[in-house]
Amino acid sequence: MSEEPILDPEVEIYDAHHHLWDHEPAYLPADLRADLASGHRVTHTVYMECGSHYRAGGPIEMRPVGETEWLMSLPHDEGTVAGIVGHADLCLGSAVEDVIEAHLIAGLGRFRGIRHMTAWHSDPAVRHPVPTMAPNVLERPEFGRGLEVLSRLGLSFDAWVFHPQLGEVVAMARRHPELAVVVDHLGGPLLVGPYFGRRDEVWADLRSSLSELATCENVVLKLGGIGMPMFGTELGPTGQKITSAELARTWSSLVAWCIAEFGADRCMFESNFPVDKECVDYLTLWNSFKIMAAEASPSERDMLFSGTCKRIYKL
């Protein structure tokens, strides 16, 4: 546990993005509960799909519903897992509606959207979140028909891409202006493989792409993922988890730029736990976000820490 004092403990937080799983190292409701008890005022959380506990049999397209079923079988405190974003193969086109309806039933009123991960890069040094990932999925006509189903049902779409793919997200968002599109993890600024040691160049490219994306009024941006080594965050020199001040020194300029570009009402902080737990603990992470948002007005801070999440995921 961090020895840092809690900054601004009165700020209400909706954690817009976390996972649960029981593979090693496990992260289950008791682990989430322990992190939430570290001192920040986290009142609601949103669960993000991670390919866990798919159905073992039955139609392949229906198997992701098992994740929602498993999740709802677990014990949750009030406010935790208030919203669920699951997975369905949007390349099924209009046929994906049956899968989404099954998620809605299994979610018992908590199901809010779909994430179909499309983060892909041709370089094998860049880790693909899903081994079967393919390029240009967002451009497929059948994927677009799947997005139309989401839009009609009033659900959101979480986009997990790497920064060179943001142009595809722009085009997709413009084709579906009525769909709420959530871009995960600051747009995926890679600093591994061919991008290693090129932070200034990557961030310049990222800003250019995000600036164009910000013109799409149906897009909101998640500010997080900053503990992931693929984004260049590493443990401290002695192998210790890094401090909030260290995180803020690295990320404040980019996060402040994103808030200015999109507006606080189109940005939300996320823990991305337990993925980011590799480099930073929960208390320290939220302290770092509070440092990064220090110049925001009270109403802007409300949006960044809870309001945008509450609105987009209809909590």
Q: Does a structural domain hold residue 3? A: no
pLDDT of residue 234: 85
Q: Is residue 4 part of a domain?
A: no
0.85 exceeded by the pTM?
Answer: yes
> Residue 171 falls within a domain, yes or no?
yes
What DSSP string runs through the chain?
Answer: ---SPPSSTT-EEEEEEE--B-SSSPB-HHHHHHHHTTSSEEEEEEEE--S-S--SSS-GGGTTHHHHHHHHTS---TTTT-EEEE---GGGGGGHHHHHHHHHHHTTT-EEEEE------SSTTSPPSSTT--TTGGG-HHHHHHHHHHHHTT-EEEE---GGGHHHHHHHHHH-TTS-EEE-GGG----SGGGTT-HHHHHHHHHHHHHHHTT-TTEEEEE--TT-GGGT----TTSPPPPHHHHHHHHHHHHHHHHHHH-GGGEEE---BTGGGGT--HHHHHHHHHHHTTTS-HHHHHIIIIIHHHHHTT-
Within-domain flag for 36 = yes
76 in a structural domain: yes
Of 35, 2, 37, 4, the closest CA to residue 19 belongs to 35
pLDDT at 237: 75
| Residue at 2 is within a domain | no
Angstrom distance (rounded) from CA 141 to CA 267: 29
Q: What is the pLDDT of residue 255?
A: 98
* Residue 123 lies in domain: 12-312
| Residue 235: predicted pLDDT | 82
CATH of the domain at 307: 3.20.20.140
Sequential pLDDT tens for the chain (315 residues): 578 999 999 999 999 999 999 998 999 999 999 999 999 999 999 999 999 999 999 999 999 999 999 999 999 999 999 999 999 999 999 999 999 999 999 999 999 999 999 999 999 889 877 777 899 999 999 999 999 999 999 999 999 999 999 999 999 999 999 999 999 999 999 999 999 999 999 999 999 999 999 999 999 999 999 999 999 998 877 778 899 999 999 999 999 999 999 999 999 999 999 999 999 999 999 999 999 999 999 999 999 999 999 999 999
In the chain, how many domains are there? Answer: 1
**Is 1 a domain residue?**
no
Query: What is residue 133's predicted lDDT score, i.e. its pLDDT?
Result: 85
Question: Does residue 7 belong to any structural domain of this protein?
Answer: no
